[in-house]
A and B are shown apart, each in its own frame.
Chain A
Amino acid sequence: MESSRKKRWQQLQAVFGPGFKQMLLVSVLLHFILPILYYSPFFPQREIEKPPVYRVNLVNKIVKNPQAGRPEATSVKKKPVVKKKPKPKPKPKPIPPKPKPKPKPPVKPKPVPVTPKVEPKVQPKPTVSKAQNNTLKQRLEQMRASQKKKDSDQARKDRIAALKAAALAESRQIESPVTDAPVGMVDGSGDEAGVSASAHVQEFIQQQWNLSKYQAVGNPEAEVKMFYSADGALIHYKFITKSGNSAFDESLTRAIVKSKQLDQKLPEAMEFHIFFNLKDMLDRP
């Protein structure tokens, strides 16, 4: 009896009771199994669909009617356009009345010869049994279905490719090199947030422009008329007034030619009259 009492006392004092170690092992196994189960196909992981992210460049976007720009924006002074006096138009000469054409005699309708209708010969139909017809139909349907599937796959692939291309184009558009173009115009009166197309084009050309400091003499100024398509491609340009400094004019020509493709699309095909002033261009960072 004493031994059994002692045994019980020892059991009470022991850290691990009889059978506790096995249970600890079971617990360890359970803790290993649970994460394994969590990552097993029994518990499919929910993939969070990432919502599409649309990045819109509102700062450097070219707009048609820019709103009033920020106060620190560099204003582009426009020369008042001197309207040339319209030349007096020559008085229209009186046009002599044309002699009336003589009435033509009525043309009699020619009798149309009536040809007897020839009935088309009926070709003998090839003899096809019903079973063959059915199999042919089935094959035809199968071919149609496979063709339809291929078409839909191709359409899906095309759509994805178009979306990717659009996203790429958009990302390129966002990373616009033109950052110094003033947002809006100082005298802007529109309601669109963005850059004036004219300022953007001027800035774009300015970035392509360079002139040796030895050739930068005086303060030449040239007015250029440019016509850009909606895609941002230069269609036509013309010097309205040349600066008189041939080096400056040539440098402008080179810059304009380099800017034959803008980095962004324009709201629409547009014509620009831009004054390029050497001092202004040199002052710009």
Chain B
Amino acid sequence: MLELVFSAGPVVKLVLLILIYFSLVSWAIIFYKTSVIQRAIKDSDRFLDFFWQKKRFDLVGEGVKEFSHSPLATLFREAYHELLQLKKKNVEPGEAEDFSLKMENTEMVSRALRRATTQETQRLEKYLTFLATTGSTAPFIGLFGTVWGIMDAFHGIGTTGSASLAVVAPGISEALIATAIGLAAAIPAVMGYNHFLNKVNILIGEMDNFSQELLNIVERMERGN
């Protein structure tokens, strides 16, 4: 196998190097994303339990640092920070209470939650585009190497004037290794991309649900006051 790689032409070698780079980075992303998403899901589960257990924002706010990998914890932190800011403003003396002002507060918390959701989604989806690029382009790059190698092989046939298997087969075999490595790089990348995209979508759904729940709680709190 290795002798095929070493005996290939310069263009095929370059193609193989590019494909190896794609494969290396793809696998690094697969390992990295597995770790990041697993921790995010695990911490989010733990945070949700913690959140519904405590029922008080100040208590949850104190313990939120333990769930640093959870996107839901980040959402809560952003919303809680926004609420604290609003509370400081509302407590200022000489200002009458206004319901419309309370509605504005909810809106502001909602905006903070949306911003945090976007940021977390970007964090979770980081590097996934590389997997998609590898999955879609690596077979074509490999195919390019193969086509180039076969061109070389046919040129060799023309030069030697012999079309026997002994002349044709090694060239085609060398050329086909490019497609093989292209597929070897692309298949895990596509599988990883689909898997992680599914997990990220689940987390985005969780974030949306949590945002709605949090907004409801904030609104209930405002109306109760």
List the interface of chain A (C-beta within 8 A of B): 1, 4, 8-9, 11-12, 17, 19-20, 23-24, 26-28, 30-31, 35, 38
Give chain A residues whose Cβ lies under 8 Å from the Cβ of B32.
17, 19-20, 23
For chain B, residues 1 to 31, give those with C-beta under 8 angstroms from any C-beta of chain A.
1-2, 20, 23-29, 31
Contact at A12–B31, with CB atoms within 8 Å?
Answer: no
Contact at B27–A35, with CB atoms within 8 Å?
Answer: no
Contact at B25–A24, with CB atoms within 8 Å?
Answer: yes
Asked if B123 is at the interface of the complex by the 8 Å CB criterion, the answer is: yes
Contact at A19–B24, with CB atoms within 8 Å?
Answer: no
Contact at B31–A23, with CB atoms within 8 Å?
Answer: yes
Contact at A17–B119, with CB atoms within 8 Å?
Answer: no
- 7 shortest interchain CB distances as A-B pairs: A27-B27, A27-B28, A24-B28, A23-B32, A23-B31, A23-B28, A1-B81
Interchain Cβ contacts under 8 Å between A and B, 28 examples: A1-B77, A1-B81, A8-B119, A8-B123, A12-B122, A12-B126, A17-B32, A17-B126, A19-B32, A19-B36, A20-B28, A20-B32, A20-B127, A23-B28, A23-B29, A23-B31, A23-B32, A24-B25, A24-B28, A26-B28, A26-B31, A27-B24, A27-B25, A27-B26, A28-B24, A31-B23, A31-B27, A35-B2
- 9 other contacts beyond A23-B32, A26-B27, with CB at 8 A cut-off? A19-B32, A20-B28, A24-B24, A24-B28, A26-B31, A27-B24, A31-B20, A31-B23, A35-B1
Asked if B100 is at the interface of the complex by the 8 Å CB criterion, the answer is: no
- The tally of residues in B whose CB lies under 8 Å from a CB in A reads 22
- Docked CA distance A23–B26 (Å): 10
Known contacts A27-B25, A28-B24; A11 and B123 CB within 8 A of each other: yes
Contact at A31–B24, with CB atoms within 8 Å?
Answer: yes
Known contacts A12-B123, A31-B27; A23 and B35 CB within 8 A of each other: yes
For chain B, residues 182 to 201, give those with C-beta under 8 angstroms from any C-beta of chain A.
none
Q: How far is the CB of A174 from chain B (nearest CB, A)?
A: 18
Q: How far is the CB of B35 from chain A (nearest CB, A)?
A: 7
Q: How far is the CB of B126 from chain A (nearest CB, A)?
A: 6
For chain B, residues 27 to 43, give those with C-beta under 8 angstroms from any C-beta of chain A.
27-29, 31-32, 35-36
Contact at A30–B1, with CB atoms within 8 Å?
Answer: no
Q: Which residue of A lies closest to B2 (CB)?
A: A35
The listed residue with most A CB atoms (<10 A of its CB), out of B1, B28, B119, is B28
Give chain B residues whose Cβ lies under 8 Å from the Cβ of A9.
119
Q: How far is the CB of A156 from chain B (nearest CB, A)?
A: 31
- Docked CA distance A17–B81 (Å): 25
Q: Which residue of B lies closest to A31 (CB)?
A: B24
- Docked CA distance A9–B35 (Å): 20
For chain B, residues 171 to 220, give those with C-beta under 8 angstroms from any C-beta of chain A.
none
Give chain B residues whose Cβ lies under 8 Å from the Cβ of A31.
20, 23-24, 27
Give chain B residues whose Cβ lies under 8 Å from the Cβ of A8.
74, 119, 123
Mask: chain B, 115-135; 1 = CB below 8 Å from A; 0 = not: 000010011001100000000
- Docked CA distance A20–B27 (Å): 11
- Docked CA distance A12–B127 (Å): 10
Give chain B residues whose Cβ lies under 8 Å from the Cβ of A30.
27
Q: How far is the CB of A48 from chain B (nearest CB, A)?
A: 13
Give chain A residues whose Cβ lies under 8 Å from the Cβ of B74.
8
- Docked CA distance A128–B28 (Å): 81
Give chain A residues whose Cβ lies under 8 Å from the Cβ of B24.
24, 27-28, 31
Give chain A residues whose Cβ lies under 8 Å from the Cβ of B123.
8, 11-12
Give chain B residues whose Cβ lies under 8 Å from the Cβ of A12.
119, 122-123, 126
For chain B, residues 66 to 103, give those with C-beta under 8 angstroms from any C-beta of chain A.
74, 77, 81
Q: How far is the CB of B26 from chain A (nearest CB, A)?
A: 8
The listed residue with most A CB atoms (<10 A of its CB), out of B31, B77, B81, is B31
- Docked CA distance A264–B65 (Å): 95
Q: Which residue of B lies closest to A4 (CB)?
A: B77
Mask: chain B, 28-61; 1 = CB below 8 Å from A; 0 = not: 1101100110000000000000000000000000
Give chain A residues whose Cβ lies under 8 Å from the Cβ of B126.
12, 17
Q: How far is the CB of B66 from chain A (nearest CB, A)?
A: 15
- Docked CA distance A81–B191 (Å): 89
Q: How far is the CB of A221 from chain B (nearest CB, A)?
A: 45
Contact at B31–A27, with CB atoms within 8 Å?
Answer: yes
Give chain B residues whose Cβ lies under 8 Å from the Cβ of A19.
32, 35-36
Q: How far is the CB of A23 from chain B (nearest CB, A)?
A: 4
Give chain B residues whose Cβ lies under 8 Å from the Cβ of A17.
32, 36, 126-127
Q: How far is the CB of A180 from chain B (nearest CB, A)?
A: 25
